[in-house]
Structures are given as C-alpha cells and as structure tokens.
Structure 1
Amino acid sequence: MKSLFLIIGAPGSGKTTDAEIIAKNNENIAHYSTGELLRAEVASGSELGLIIGKRMSAGELVPVEVALNTIVNAINKSQNDIILIDGYPRSSEQMLGLDTILQKEKNIILKSVIEVEVSEETAMNRVLGRNRGADDNIEIFKNRMDVYNKPLKGIQKFYISKKILHKISGENEIEAVVKEMQKHIELT
C-alpha cells in the first residue's frame, strides 16, 4: 500500500523545496513535483510537450487528464511506499478526477493534503527572485496566483470534509517548515 501526500501552495510557497529536502533525507519517501514532471514532458519536444508548454508559458493549467496521467504514472512507477506530490490539485476538476481514480486504486491511499501558506507578497518576492524561466515575471505571476486562488476555497472545503487537510506556515525558515511537514508525514 502506497501512502500519498499532496502538497499544495501558491507559486513561491516553497512546497517543492520542502518536499525535495524531505525525500532527500528519507530513502523511503519519493517526491514528484507536478510542475517538474510537466516541464520534463515539454523538454522532450513531444507533441504533448508542445501543448503543455504553451499552457504553462501563459500561466494556465494543463488539461486535467494530462496532469492525472502524469501523476498516476509517477506513483505507480515509484519503488517507494510514501509519495509526496506537490503542486496538485490546482483545480476542482483535478481534485475530483484524482479522487475518482483513488477510489478505484486499491494500492494507493491519500493520507493528507498539506497546504503551505504564504502571503502573496512573500510568494511574489520568491518567484520573481528565483529567475527560473520565462514564466517568472510579474504578469505571469499574477495570473498564476489567480489560477491558484480561484479554486482554493473549494479544494480546502473538500479536503476538510475528508479530515485530511493540514496547514503549515511557509513564512518560516525552510528548516522549520521541513521539520513540521516531516513530523506530520511521520505521524499520519
């Protein structure tokens, strides 16, 4: 049985960095970033990668079935029993799609959804300061924040009703956030 932890948060919340550190320090934990999985497909130059790249460069979500297939493939291929996936879900459709798949999958259990909370100011300063690519500019950032914030209340409500939403402040130092997140994963 694989234990799944979803990590959500605004662009620049630190969710990917936090999950990377936890996975690096724990050989029984695998980490997949939805964004990195999708960027790898773009880098492959495939037809699907071109579609994904166009959507991502505009700060838009990729089609639900593309994101779902990417995530489920990563989980199923993993040799680890604990899986961290950050950056998913980012819409109600993604959330409900994953919920439907997980109801059918007998070897995967969603243990918790961890929300890393930061202010919009902190998120913007981090995103614009990292200079990772063409999508790290103010216009794209604002669009990405809108895309993140629009469905957030519904996503929170859904996972609160399942009693699996756990919030962590991403305003703290990385070490403190990682420690709190890892403790939650170990206790869940």
Structure 2
Amino acid sequence: MWRRAASLSSLIFSSSQPLRDQQGAYSLKAWKFFCADSSKGAGYFSKEKNLFITFVLGGPGSGKGTQCAKIVENFGYTHLSAGELLRREIASNSEDGAMLLDTIKEGKIVPSEVTVKLIQKEMESCGNCKFLIDGFPRNEENRIAFEQIIGAEPNNVLFFDCPEEEMIKRVLSRNEGRVDDNIDTIRKRLKVFAASHHPVIEHYSKKGKLYKIDAIGTEDEIFERVRPVFAACEGAQ
C-alpha cells in the first residue's frame, strides 16, 4: 500500500511518469498520491471504542454553523468544516494546496477522497473522539468515500430543516461581502443542495440515524431542540 510522502513535490520530480497532463492539469496518479492511506490505514477509527461522529447538514442560511458552536460549547465536540479544511489547505501554499487550487480554478470538483483525507488527518491529530462534521457529505459519493476510508459510519445525522425563503433572508442579511450572497445565486445554491443532499438524507433516515431539526426560531429556541439529541448520546456512551 502506498504511504504518503512528506512532500508531493518529491513525488513529482522522482516519478518516472508525469503527474500533470499536457495542459498542466494534475493527473489521476497525482490524486492517488495525495489520497494514499496514512500509516494507521483505513478503518483505524472504527477501532476507537469511544469514537462518536455526527454529520451536520442544512442549506445555506439554515443556521447549522451557529448551532455547531453551541454543541461544541455544551458537549465538548470538535467541529470540523469540510469547506474550511479545503480553504485552509489551499491557503497553506503547500503542494497539496496548489493541486486543490488548480482543480477548483479549472471548474472541477475536488475528489471525495481528497476531502475525506483532510477530515481524517484532522481527526487523527486533534486528540478528541467526538466530532461534528459540518456540511459533509454533500452527496452520495462523499458519503461512500467517508465510510470506506474512515471505516466507520456516523452515529447520528442532524438535518436543519428550514424553508427556502427564510434561508434566503438570512443569507442576504449576513452582509459578509461574499460574491455569491445574492438572491439569484442563493436560489441556485439551494437547488443544488436539495438535489445532492436528498439521497444522503434519505439513506440515513432509513437507517434511523437522522434527526430533523426545525430551524425556525431564535438561536436558543433551536438549540433546545438540538440539546436532547446530544444529551441522550452522552447518556448512552
């Protein structure tokens, strides 16, 4: 089994086969190096007796980030955002970050295995065993990759159920200066979310792991609907 080298650049210059194609895009070979199993190997986390994973799903403006902060404060979970991990890797100016940036600039989707490996690396290094994984999985491919690479399923899945018009109002009122925070783009993002997340939500609903949270109300009111889910989990562990 491949072990990840200290730097992707050493692989680029030592490999007998090119890791970029003629247009300069990274090849599948490069992605395989990036996704090589860590020394602990796939399935490492499934051996951790106290590991507890919660996926947190919800459309833009559903309030899941705010509620994650409250869960962390009250129940001691580590909050991992898949999008933030990708942005951090890109900002690090590492070889891996350059690969991710090239992929995004080309309008391509970052392979699920890459995102999962970043999540895995963070889980291994943080010293906690309770995780909130926010905004992931985005689709069935993400879900399958996570379960295969980590070797574990989530213990439960939160879905913040919020009407579309309410999410639009919240995103527009955030005033974060994001270029995609306009009504047309938000509506498109919500349509993509609904289409891609529906199979994931259905999958975990059938397995009895889904908790649908009414995301209308004040932050504290919504958290009072979230709290019993985690209080019950604390008692079961």
Q: TM-score range by the shorter chain?
A: 0.7 to 0.9
Aligned to 1:165: 210
Question: Runs of 4+ in structure 1 displaced over 3 angstroms?
Answer: 51-55
Number of aligned positions between the proteins: 180
Residues 1:149 and 2:185 aligned together:
no
So what's the TM-score if we normalise by structure 2?
Answer: 0.68
Aligned to 1:131: 175
CA RMSD of aligned residues (A): 2.3
Is the CA contact (8 Å cut-off) linking 1:31 and 1:83 kept in structure 2? Answer: yes
Distance, in Å, in 2 between the alignment partners of 1:149 and 1:5 is 20
Aligned to 2:34: none
Residues 1:4 and 2:53 aligned together:
yes
User: What secondary structure, in the 3-state scheme, does the structure 1 residue paired with 2:154 have?
Assistant: strand
Residues 1:118 and 2:147 aligned together:
no
Give the gaps of 5 or more residues in structure 2.
1-49
Classify 1:141/1:44 alpha carbon distance in 2 versus 1 (closer, same or farther; 3 Å). Answer: farther
* Equivalent residue for 2:68, pick from 19, 33, 46: 19
So what's the TM-score if we normalise by structure 1?
Answer: 0.84
Q: Out of 61-70 and 12-21, give the one that drifted further.
A: 61-70
What is the deviation of 1:66? 2.3
User: What secondary structure, in the 3-state scheme, does the structure 2 residue paired with 1:171 have?
Assistant: coil
Structure 1 or 2, whichever has the larger Rg, is: 2
What is the deviation of 1:166? 0.7
* Equivalent residue for 1:48, pick from 99, 102, 113: 99
Report the structure, 1 or 2, having the larger strand content. Answer: 1
Residues 1:85 and 2:133 aligned together:
yes
> Identity over the aligned pairs, expressed in percent?
30
Distance, in Å, in 2 between the alignment partners of 1:144 and 1:165 is 23
1:100 is matched by which residue type in structure 2?
Answer: Q
Distance, in Å, in 2 between the alignment partners of 1:52 and 1:101 is 22
Is the CA contact (8 Å cut-off) linking 1:33 and 1:86 kept in structure 2? Answer: yes
Distance, in Å, in 2 between the alignment partners of 1:156 and 1:18 is 19
Aligned to 2:121: 73
User: Which structure's relative contact order is higher, taking Cα pairs within 8 Å and 6+ residues apart?
Assistant: 1
